[in-house]
Amino acid sequence: MSASFNSIETSDNTNHWKTLKTFGSYLWPENRWDLRLRVLLALFFLVLAKVLNIYVPFLLKQTIDIFSQTISPLTLPLSLIIAYGVARLGVALFGELRDFIFAKVGQNAQRVIALNTFKHLHSLSLQFHLSRQTGGLSRVIERGTRGIQFVLNFMTFNILPTLLEIVLVTGAVIYHFGFLYGLIIFSTITIYIFLTISVTEWRLKFRKSMNSAETSANTKAIDSLLNFETVKYFGNEEHEYYRFDLSLAKYEKAAVTSQMSLSVLNITQAAVISLGLIAVMWMAGQGVINKVFTVGDFVLINTFLIQLYLPLNFLGFVYREIKNSLVDMDKMFELIQVHSDVADDPNAQDLMVTKGVVEFKDVQFGYSQNRQILKGVNFKIGAGQTLAIVGSSGAGKSTIARLLFRFYDVTDGQITIDGQDIRHVTQKSLRQNIGVVPQDTVLFNDSIGYNIFYGKPDATEEQMHKASHMAKIHDFIASLPQGYDTPVGERGLKLSGGEKQRVAIARTILKNPPILIFDEATSALDSHKEKEIQASLQEISTSRSTLVIAHRLSTVVNANEIIVLQDGQVAERGTHSQLLKKRGLYASMWFKQQEEQSHSVESAPET
Ligand SMILES: Nc1ncnc2c1ncn2[C@@H]1O[C@H](COP(=O)(O)OP(=O)(O)OP(=O)(O)O)[C@@H](O)[C@H]1O
Ligand SMILES: [Mg+2]
């Protein structure tokens, strides 16, 4: 509650209208004639209930009139009394029918909005998600959905019906009593609404300070208890009590003021209604004396006014909550309006992979404008060939993989697959054709089997097992008590780094795309396991264009071409033996790693 009050400051009425309009379109959805029919039916029952609701006081009036006719002998107007009861039941019945019929419309709107938001979030770029906290996003959706629910309930079941009732009652009063009476009733309610909203606006600041005082008292108490030991070390209990009480006193004061302002609101409301009542009853009383009206009429006008203002009793609360809800809904709808930095070209075609030739032409890129990561990178992966990228940490190797997958667009230059610029093909088709084993694998909090199937959800069990065989993880999984049903824990943290990597390899093998990217795919494995897996990887990459990123150079010696990335540019290129002959960067990296390895082999027996 406290957080949503803070948001009131940022509220903006033009936004609210936009939000309500967007929301309205979900309640009157195109191509859903069943739902539109429901809206119409619900409206019909709404009107029916309200008309009947206005008819009820008339029945009461007629009954009273019969009682007050002293000339004829008194007989009990049983049929009128029963009609009165039945009419009351009818009001309730039609009201419930309206809610029941409308429920599907409201629920459908909520579902579609939540789904659209979710879809939209998935269509936004990686950049957007990296710069946002996921928790924050889900909170926006959660609040927005709650806001929708509230607005829906109160707009449709409270505010709209009441507005309709005001109109109907005014009409009935004008018809039965005359224009002046209608005017008084209408003005009373208008003034009532106006004052309620004004006083509620004025009260908001008291509610807000009450909420912030409460938060501050809570924080103090928690902080103090967390520091229990420190408080004891310094014997500062009295100081803590004092600080806590200071916050409590603030809360006390704010709560009292808030209650006072609530009383002001209630008194204002009652005063307006009473004045209205006095005015109409005085006039109607005159009418009774002058024999223009009956006693029943006198009761009738009273009943009308009281019946009208009952649902308005909570108007202050409803107004405040709807305002909060609208702010939350604004935020959610704003999210839907964020455009993706990486969007499909309007004329985008599906990528057609024939040979799988990947080409980077003078590619320049930076995550931000003031820091260039790639400064003109050129390379070509021929059909079925393997290109390896090596280079120091932070050189931009993973960035190249992300660009090929089109998580980002290049700032200059071009990336093509079989001659098609990847900016001009659909992202879906592009990504279908590329399999990535990323540097850091994160798994879904589900079973190992689920995570491998993720590569190709419609694969058979057999295909899945074959993929995990190739990724050298099948034996491990089979040795687990729960086998493929073993849960992997949040983000896959119950698996070791090497196991996670092999699950990632297995699911990419299962996906079976024509282009592969291995970004340090075996970095977390010991060299024995790595050798084993290397054979499998070589097997699956023979017929595919493959981009391998590696630190351990021993894993790339067989690549058709190796490029050394340095300072955002290709510093050296060639095959393993060519590069060794060059005695440059690659050669020195190679010898250094060889040396380290022989050291670790030498020192191995000692440990
Ligand atoms: N989303 C991002 N926003 C801003 N800068 C980024 C982003 N991702 C990476 N960088 C920066 O870009 C540079 C290149 O990163 P990249 O991940 O491509 O390095 P790498 O060569 O793969 O390194 P490593 O071998 O450590 O994986 C790094 O300096 C990194 O800090
Ligand atoms: Mg990397």
Instruction: From residue 140, give the alpha-carbon distance in Å to each of 132, 137, 292, 330, 336.
Output: 12, 5, 60, 10, 11
Ligand 1 pocket by Cβ (under 6 Å): 130, 367, 373, 393-399, 439
Task: Count Cβ atoms below 10 Å from residue 603 Cβ, excluding itself.
Answer: 9
pLDDT at residue 496 greater than cutoff 90: no
Instruction: Give the per-residue pLDDT at 5.
Output: 33
Average pLDDT of 201-213? Answer: 87
Task: Give CATH superfamily name and number for 13-337.
Answer: ABC transporter type 1, transmembrane domain (1.20.1560.10)
Alpha carbon of 395 to ligand 2 centroid (Å): 8
Instruction: Give the per-residue pLDDT at 600.
Output: 66
Q: Which protein residue's CA is at the shortest distance from atom 7 of ligand 1?
A: 367
Average pLDDT of 102-116? Answer: 89
pLDDT in tens, 51-70: 999 899 999 888 888 887 76
Q: Which protein residue's CA is at the shortest distance from atom 30 of ligand 1?
A: 394
Average pLDDT of 398-427? Answer: 93
* Least confident residue range of 36-45, 322-331, 501-510: 322-331
- Percent share of the chain, pLDDT over 70: 95
pLDDT in tens, 272-286: 989 998 999 899 999
Q: Determine phi and psi for 77, rounding to 5 degrees.
A: -75, 70
349-433+515-521+528-595 has which CATH code? 3.40.50.300
Q: Specify whether the CB–CB gap between 443 and 494 falls below 8 A.
A: no
Instruction: Give the per-residue pLDDT at 71.
Output: 59
pLDDT at residue 380 greater than cutoff 90: yes
Instruction: From residue 308, give the alpha-carbon distance in Å to each of 94, 273, 279, 301, 339.
Output: 18, 10, 16, 11, 46
pLDDT at residue 205 greater than cutoff 50: yes
pLDDT at residue 518 greater than cutoff 80: yes
Q: Name the residue with tokens 């390895």.
A: 597
Q: DSSP character for 159? A: I
Helix axes 179-226, 160-177, angle to 10 degrees: 160
pLDDT at residue 9 greater than cutoff 70: no
Average pLDDT of 116-121? Answer: 88
Instruction: Give the per-residue pLDDT at 594.
Output: 84
User: Residue 502 in 3-state DSSP?
Assistant: helix
Same CATH fold, 439-512 and 349-433+515-521+528-595? yes
Alpha carbon of 422 to ligand 1 centroid (Å): 21
Instruction: Give the per-residue pLDDT at 19.
Output: 82
Q: Specify whether the CB–CB gap between 508 and 516 falls below 8 A.
A: yes
Q: Specify whether the CB–CB gap between 434 and 404 falls below 8 A.
A: yes
pLDDT in tens, 314-360: 788 888 888 888 888 888 888 888 888 888 888 889 999 999 999 99
H helix intervals, 178-236: 179-226, 228-234
pLDDT at residue 390 greater than cutoff 90: yes
The C-alpha angle with vertex 591 and arms to 440 and 379, in degrees rounded to 5, equals 55
Instruction: Give the per-residue pLDDT at 171.
Output: 92
Q: State the chain's mean pLDDT as an integer.
A: 87
Instruction: Give the per-residue pLDDT at 73.
Output: 54
Task: Give CATH superfamily name and number for 439-512.
Answer: P-loop containing nucleotide triphosphate hydrolases (3.40.50.300)
User: Residues near 556 by Cβ (< 8 Å), separated by ≥ 6?
Assistant: 388, 390, 548, 550, 562, 576
* Least confident residue range of 74-78, 120-124, 390-394: 74-78
Torsion of CA 321, 325, 326, 329, to 10 degrees: 180
Alpha carbon of 523 to ligand 2 centroid (Å): 11
pLDDT at residue 135 greater than cutoff 80: no
Nearest to 509 by CA among 469, 481, 476, 477: 469
pLDDT at residue 13 greater than cutoff 80: no
| Residue 231 bridge partners (DSSP) | none
> Strands, DSSP E only, in 393-542?
412-417, 420-421, 434-437, 515-519
Of 127, 389, 398, 409, best ligand 1 pocket probe by most atoms within 8 Å of the beta carbon:
398
pLDDT in tens, 287-320: 999 988 898 999 998 888 888 888 788 788 888 8
All structural domains of the chain with their residue ranges: 13-337, 349-433+515-521+528-595, 439-512
Atom of ligand 1 nearest to the CA of 439: 27
Q: Which protein residue's CA is at the shortest distance from atom 24 of ligand 1?
A: 393
Choose between 139 and 385: higher pLDDT: 385
Q: How far apart (Å, rounded) are the C-alpha atoms in residues 164 and 51?
A: 10
